[in-house]
Amino acid sequence: MSAPTHATTNRALIFQGPYAMSLGEIEMPAVGPDDVLIRVRAVGICGSDIHGFSGKTGRRAPGMVMGHEIAGEVVEVGAAVRGTAVGQRVAVQPILFCGHCRLCREGRTSLCLNKRMLGVNMGTVGGLSDYVAVPATNVFAFAATVPFAVGSLAEPLAVGESAAAAAGIRAGETVAIVGAGMICLAILLAVKERQPARIFVVDSIDRRLALAAGLGAVPVNFRDTAAVARIRQKTGGHGADATIEAVGASASVATAQQVARDGGRIVLIGNSAKMVEVDMQDIVVRGKSIQGVYCYTNDDFARAVRYLEANEARVAGFVEKEVPPHEAPATFTKLARGELELLRAVVTQE
């Protein structure tokens, strides 16, 4: 095991309840033989964190430390760890999977029957802390030239990789993405790598649509009552071969369904509402398929890190605000109240 090169205290932002988060001290995580200890340098504030912080979804429990979009520096490695060294910059794949259950054996580790997710489930310590310890299999090194804040984007980019892979996109196809937030733009980048003929992006926020257009998509404003008709018109009346929905509301799911061609593929990764309406007759009679996708596998994450390294300049602009830990509670509050509209705010520290 490497000699420890870190402090002995672990500060963390502890969620106290809706709109309440305070800086405190928690235990230093134990480092097992297969683990690495990471000094957190950057952690992105995900939309799910904001919803949990506001109490809107109940997905975050008081007393926990949030943050699952983590990048940092390895400061200690367990005795059995090979291929990971102290000083490496790494992004953390936050899903802790058992590796033994039926779904893990099938390679579907994001659906592990025993999974936990850093910063999401109680009993885990997320990235809004000085240090986290994770299995070495969950860390992915990236180049020393990539800033830590940009490295924290590996997690949302991995969501994009997973969604694009699930949609089975082939070169020359037409794709529609419903939503243009951080996750939707990550999907757009992953879809582009598969060389479709055209990508439509549907959203209601002009700034996001402009960003999508700048990345090569055809923007369609959701507020346009003829949005679906416009997409169908531009596809010869057929619709998109694949649609990916990343909002999780009834209206956006309906749009994704309506723009899919007969026999088209619909991938749902949005998770805002627990229940949404689906037009079953349209699905059955027109032979459309629906697939839900949750997060990513290690392979998806590895592809995201490689993409990030090769396209740093393209993705760096997604980080629109960096804040130190002591300013994070105020930033969470502004985001939750709609006073800030950012692709990604990142909590960073030296």
Average pLDDT over residues 124-137: 96
Share of the chain above pLDDT 70, in %: 98
Whether the pLDDT of residue 5 is over 70: the answer is no
Whether the pLDDT of residue 21 is over 90: the answer is yes
| The pair of three-digit structure tokens given for residue 217, joined into one six-digit string | 């998509």
Please tell me the chain's helix, strand, coil percentages from 3-state DSSP, rounded to the nearest 5.
30, 30, 40
Query: What is the C-alpha to C-alpha distance for residues 125 and 123, in angstroms, rounded to an integer?
Result: 7
* Residue type for position 245: E
Q: How confident is the model at residue 244 (pLDDT cuts 50, 70, 90)?
A: very high
Concatenated DSSP letters for 28-92?
Answer: PPP--TTEEEEEEEEEE--HHHHHHHHTSS--S-TT-B---EEEEEEEEE-TT--S--TT-EEEE
Enumerate residues 6+ apart whose C-beta is below 8 A from 190: 157, 160, 161, 163, 164, 165, 307
Average pLDDT over residues 82-101: 96
Mean per-residue pLDDT over the chain, rounded: 94
- pLDDT of 1 reads 44
End-to-end distance of the chain based on CA atoms, in angstroms?
A: 25
CATH superfamily of 158-292: NAD(P)-binding Rossmann-like Domain (3.40.50.720)
Name the one residue in this structure whose structure tokens are 């590796």: 99
Ranges of each domain in the chain: 10-153+318-348, 158-292
Tell me if residue 344 falls in helix, strand or coil. strand
Whether the pLDDT of residue 2 is over 60: the answer is no
| Residue 4 DSSP one-character state | P
Locate all alpha helices (DSSP H) within 74-137, ordered by sequence: 102-105
Whether the pLDDT of residue 6 is over 80: the answer is no
Length of the chain in residues, anyone? 350
The correct CATH number of 10-153+318-348 out of 3.40.50.620, 3.40.190.80, 3.40.50.1220, 3.90.180.10 is 3.90.180.10
| The pair of three-digit structure tokens given for residue 68, joined into one six-digit string | 């699952």
Query: What is the C-alpha to C-alpha distance for residues 97 and 214, in angstroms, rounded to an integer?
Result: 37
Concatenated DSSP letters for 236-303?
Answer: TTS-EEEEEE-S-SHHHHHHHHHHEEEEEEEEE---S-S-----HHHHHHTT-EEEE--S--HHHHHH
More confident call, 20 vs 59 = 20
Nearest to 38 by CA among 116, 146, 151: 151
pLDDT by residue (tens digit) across 300-333? 999 999 999 999 999 999 999 999 999 999 999 9
Enumerate residues 6+ apart whose C-beta is below 8 A from 96: 115, 116, 117, 118, 124, 134, 135, 138
